[in-house]
Structure 1
Amino acid sequence: MATKPMTKTQLVAALAEKMDADKKTATTALDAITDLITQEVAAGGAVTLPGVGKIYCRERPERMVRNPATGEQFKKEADKQVKMTIAKALKDSVNG
């Protein structure tokens, strides 16, 4: 059975331990990385995290969708969706 996902607090504590730094420095580093990834993907670019994967934005065209409650069909406007492709190294480490 899967365990609960790691929280930001737990991630910061583990990062601080790996960096041999305090939690404030680790929080600043994590927030900076998150901001950089957000800015790049929002601008239409992609970010590759070595050993983890690639985060990018994909545009979805305008399409017809159906409301499952009423069965009514309507047109959904074009939008963007954030996607992530997982790196082979991470897949291999998880699978064996």
Structure 2
Amino acid sequence: MDEIDAAVPREFNSISSWMYATHKTRLIRRWLAKKSRWHVHLTPTSSSWLNQVERFFALLTRRSGAACVYRSVAALRGDIDRHNADPKPFR
């Protein structure tokens, strides 16, 4: 965790914990107590970052009106850029 702390830019300060007990161990609690920069956010398994990525691509697919098959990175980036022009949080 010290390597991560040193490598991550200072403006990033959140840890998403998708394994509930991860941040409950004594060692990790002590480390977090010394590092006031970090804030733990519980992410239930059903709301993991991978689920959010899958949900994002489902959104792109639905907006395209057809099955999304990206034949190039540029085409994918185009759809992502169009989404980012008017982003909405997932609920």
**TM exceeds 0.5?**
no
TM-score (norm 2): 0.26
Structure of higher RCO (CA pairs closer than 8 Å, 6+ residues apart)? 2
Structure number with the higher helix fraction is 2
Structure number with the higher strand fraction is 1
TM-score (norm 1): 0.25
